[in-house]
Amino acid sequence: MLFDYIIVGGGSSGCVIANRLSANGSRVLLIEAGPDFSPDAIPDDILDGNPTRAYYNPRYQWPSLNATIVQDVSRRTHYEQARVMGGGSSINAQVANRGAPSDYDEWASIGATGWDWAGVLPYFRRLECDLDFDNEFHGNNGPLPISRVRKAEWSGFIRAVSTAFEDRGIPFRPDFNSGFGDGHSVVPLTNRNGRRVSAAMAYLSESVRARPNLTILPETTVVRLTSSARQITGVETESKNGRPSYRASTVILCAGAIHSPALLMRSGIGPAEQLINLGIPIVADIKGVGKNLQEHPGVAISAYLSPDDRMAANATGYIQMHARYSSGYEGCPSTDMAISALAKSAWHPIGRRLGSLAFWVNRVYSTGTVSLKNSSHATEPEVNFNMLSDKRDAERLKEAFRFVAHLLEHKALVPVALDPFPSAWTGRAKRISKYSRLNLGLTSIVATLMDNSPWLRRNLIRSAIADGHIISTLLQSDELLDQFIRQNVFGNFHPTSTCRMGTVMDPTSVTDSFGRVHRVGGLRVADASVMPFCPQANTNIPTVMVAEKISDAMLNVR
């Protein structure tokens, strides 16, 4: 069972790496913990351009993965991370943002040599087949189609938000990926004809899967890496077929920013003191493994929409508009905040009646950790995002709440966004978002009541949806607003940076600029965990770019 390459994780990066490394005849094994679907048998909820059904389908998630969101708030929550071929790209909102050129220039300046904007743009172009633009910023021959929501499809709510943005100095930009600055735009999506195109669909086509040198093992968990001294020799796995081991010249971790560091630590690569306490033999003492965890913290304000202002049933995508603006907060770059505008907030009848402005800190400074609870692969790691621990993040998110609340007072939005309220995708909202007949029935009843009586609607929103929180009250008290934000902040499912790139002299780094793990042979990491910090973007396209760039380095023996 000898391969040239073993790829651990069939998410966005793993699919890319498997495609590129198997193209030249190398023997490649791709291992994915979740299910795999052939190109002609992809479930409808994954194909759906609206992701809200797939995202909350437990079949596609790590079922026991929980996280601490804010350190000083007693709230642990299930953290939705994909466990399915294609990873997050099979269940996410399909947003295809790249981030700021300054993100990548800063990556390079702090030790990720070659990852400046000039160094990454060719790989952004390589991954995409842009269906709308053909210029020096875009590619037209890559595996992933990029299309955009049309302004003609915008609902009345989104059109009103656009008017309010214009009046607040956030102009319309036709293309969010050809420049970076304050503005709002139609949303670029990994989507063709209103249907999702995941990394699995794009990179593991029938012809790629037919390569005799590519082996795919779904529903198989990697227990640990095997090693001889400081040379990684392969992996030990577990599946319904037992616990076979596989050997390779090189193992590439593409398990994501939570499970890649966990696997490293289970295999003896990480902070020595922690591993010794767990009885794990040390292969390499690398203190940065599991550190520097980042996410985009956010909350939302939602409102009831009349039928004429809701998202049409045949409209493209889920997020109809994306905006970026500058907080002006000291010590933060320009264009450091983001807002997504949705004219449908969930799949169920209540969600179809609610428009939302979900806003988050796009350039984040707080960091958390991933650590092991014990040495067993059956126990999920301890995940602590430690959101809002950096004052800059906490203050900017509060100010964003104020900004969006006042935006909804704009004359274009007052008659459209009715009974606005603070909202968050936590607790009750998560439970009701799971796709089931029971939730469909319950939400149908509540939605009918909301339609029939404005008085009843306002009371239902306050008591059953907003948990008693009122925007005006939160705006009058910084203490109450701070408390609300900390209790309700959520991530955007963009974890990064737990195996960050940097020089071997940097004690916080784990890999070099080619994804090679410091002081360990035969091992690379090629997913979002190597990002020096979370870019100012939804992270799927940057993750695909990382995999394209590292696979190219491997093929060119770097």
Task: Burial-class residue 268 by CB neighbours within 10 Å (0-12, 13-18, 19+).
Answer: buried
Write out pLDDT tens, residues 131-154: 999 999 999 999 999 999 889 889
519, 510 Cβ separation under 8 angstroms: no
Query: Is the confidence at residue 77, as pLDDT, over 70?
Result: yes
Strand ranges, E, within 91-189: 128-130, 144-148, 183-185, 188-189
Confidence of residue 555 (pLDDT cuts 50, 70, 90): very high
In 239-353, the DSSP E strands lie at 245-253, 269-270, 284-285, 298-305, 321-325, 337-342
Q: What's the rounded Cα separation, in Å, for the pair 160 and 309? A: 9
Q: How far is CA 74 from the centre of its chain?
A: 24
What average pLDDT does this structure show over 161-179?
94
Angle at 81 between CA 75 and CA 85, to 5 degrees: 170
Q: Which fold has domain 150-186+298-363+388-488?
A: Cholesterol Oxidase; domain 2 (3.30.410)
Nearest to 261 by CA among 217, 300, 310, 225: 225
Q: What is the DSSP letter of 40?
A: T
Nearest to 536 by CA among 95, 97, 99: 99
Mean predicted confidence (pLDDT) in 210-216: 98
- What pLDDT shows up at residue 344? 86
CA nearest neighbour of 299 among 421, 439, 407: 421
pLDDT tens digits, 28-42: 999 999 999 999 999
Distance between CA atoms of residues 14 and 203, nearest Å: 10
Radius of gyration of the chain (CA): 23
pLDDT(432) > 80 = no
User: 546 among the known binding-site residues?
Assistant: no
Q: What is the tens place of the pLDDT at every residue in 397-415?
A: 999 999 999 999 999 999 9
- pLDDT, one tens digit per residue, over 365-393 is 999 999 999 999 999 999 999 999 999 99
Does residue 90 surpass a pLDDT of 80? Answer: yes
Higher pLDDT, 193 or 104: 104
Q: Which helix (H) or strand (E) holds 480?
A: helix 478-488
Q: Which two tokens stand for residue 300?
A: 């939302």
User: Does 2-74+82-100+198-293+494-555 carry CATH code 3.50.50.60?
Assistant: yes
| Catalytically annotated residue among 348, 410, 494, 518 | 494
| DSSP secondary structure string for all residues of 369-409 | EEE-SSS-TTSPPEEE--TT-SHHHHHHHHHHHHHHHHHTT
Q: Flag the least confident range among 2-6, 193-197, 351-355.
A: 351-355
Contact 341, 323 (CB under 8 A): yes
515: exposed, middle or buried (C-beta count within 10 Å: 0-12, 13-18, 19+)?
buried
Cβ pair 67, 383 in contact under 8 A: yes
Q: What is the pLDDT of residue 39?
A: 95
| 3-state SS class at 165 | helix
494 annotated active-site = yes
Task: Establish whether 222 is an annotated binding residue.
Answer: yes
How many Cα atoms are found within 13 Å in the side-chain-facing hemisphere of 11? 34
Kindly provide the b/e burial profile for residues 50-83, where b requires at least 16 CB atoms within 10 angstroms of the residue's own CB.
bbbbbbbbeebbbeebebbbbeebeeeebbbbbb
Phi, psi values for residue 146, rounded to 5°: -120, 115
pLDDT one-digit tens code per residue, 282-333: 999 999 999 999 999 999 999 999 999 998 887 777 889 999 999 999 999 9
pLDDT of residue 427: 67
Q: State yes or no: 520 annotated in a binding site.
A: no
Percent of the chain topping pLDDT 90: 82
Any residues with CB less than 8 A from the CB of 106 and at least 6 apart, and which? 532, 533
Does the annotation place 94 within a ligand binding site? Answer: yes
Predicted local distance difference test score (pLDDT) of residue 426 = 63
CB 8 within 8 A of CB 14: yes
Residue 93, marked binder = yes
- Give the integer Cα–Cα distance in Å for 81 and 88: 7
The continuous run of DSSP H or E covering 263 comes out as helix 256-266
Residues 6+ apart with CB under 8 A from 374: 278
CA dihedral 120, 126, 131, 134 (to 10 degrees): 70
556 is in an annotated binding site: no
User: In the predicted model, what is the mean pLDDT of the chain?
Assistant: 94
344's tokens? 């449908």
Query: Could you give the CA distance from residue 8 to residue 322 in angstroms, rounded to a whole number?
Result: 33
The domains of the chain are located at 2-74+82-100+198-293+494-555, 150-186+298-363+388-488
pLDDT tens readout for residues 188-210: 999 999 899 999 999 999 999 99
pLDDT band of residue 459 (cuts 50, 70, 90) is confident
